[in-house]
């Protein structure tokens, strides 16, 4: 049985919350932090914690990578405090233009299993939430990362296939952590990674567009 877009996105948000909760236990955090963006078969310490939360939704490597990225973050909120990613200036919904790239409600992700009970979707419109391109622009505009270097990173990342992208994300977020700039919207990233093998060109184009749009928006506000 396939899921609707709303069901999958509710799952992505719920998965992030579950992983943040798991990370409250240091030994589990260490297990989840052991994958380093590698293929699932090379992450023997992670299935114990992730098999049930992922069941039925496919895209196992995307889930494993995002769980590892979350476990990297030592500044996660308490499990009872909602996780908030870094945001662009409220009211400037420059990501709305990218809405046409969202997967259709009838499209199916990698092979699903039995559907879980329906869950409410996120309150904030999905495509107004920051994707990786947006976050990398924020890192330049607000945290002092070099624009030329980050622009090259964006161009490189968006050309990579899954096997090369996931390890690069691991090293990239480690770099962002060096200046406390890694407060990502993990659920949005999870959807993008889950679809990467199916819609890489569209997702990559959206990352690039949102990177340059956000960079322009934030730069304009400072002048």
State percent of the chain over pLDDT 70: 80
In the chain, % helix, strand, coil (3-state, to 5) comes to: 60, 0, 40
The pLDDT, as a whole number, for residue 2 is 83
Residue 132 has pLDDT above 90, yes or no: yes
pLDDT of residue 88: 74
| 81: confidence class by pLDDT, cuts 50, 70, 90 | low
pTM over 0.85: no
**Lowest pLDDT segment from 59-68, 83-92, 128-137:** 83-92
Poorest-confidence range of 8-12, 48-52, 125-129, 191-195?
A: 125-129
Query: Mean pLDDT, to the nearest integer, of 87-116?
Result: 43
Does residue 37 register a pLDDT over 70? yes
Average pLDDT of the residues in 142-154 = 96
Q: Mean per-residue pLDDT for 164-190?
A: 93
Question: What's the pLDDT band for 89 if we cut at 50, 70, 90?
Answer: low
């Amino acid at each position: 049985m396939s899921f609707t877009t709303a069901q999958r996105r509710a799952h992505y948000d719920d998965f992030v919350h579950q992983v943040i909760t798991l990370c409250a236990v240091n030994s589990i955090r260490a297990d989840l932090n052991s994958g380093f963006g590698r293929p699932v078969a090379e992450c023997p310490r992670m299935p114990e914690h992730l098999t049930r939360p992922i069941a039925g939704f496919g895209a196992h490597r995307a889930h494993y990578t995002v769980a590892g990225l979350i476990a990297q973050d030592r500044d996660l909120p308490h499990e009872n405090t909602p996780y908030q990613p870094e945001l662009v200036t409220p009211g400037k919904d420059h990501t709305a233009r990218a809405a046409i790239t969202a997967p259709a409600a009838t499209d199916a992700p990698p092979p699903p299993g039995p559907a879980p009970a329906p869950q409410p979707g996120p309150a904030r419109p999905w495509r107004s939430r920051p994707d990786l391109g947006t976050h990398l622009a924020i890192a330049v505009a607000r945290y002092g990362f070099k624009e030329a270097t980050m622009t090259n990173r964006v161009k490189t990342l968006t050309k990579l296939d899954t096997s090369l992208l996931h390890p690069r994300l691991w090293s990239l977020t480690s770099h962002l952590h060096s200046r406390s700039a890694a407060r990502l919207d993990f659920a949005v990233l999870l959807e993008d990674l889950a679809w990467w093998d199916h819609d890489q060109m569209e997702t990559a184009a959206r990352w690039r567009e949102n990177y340059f749009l956000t960079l322009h928006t934030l730069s304009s506000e400072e002048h």
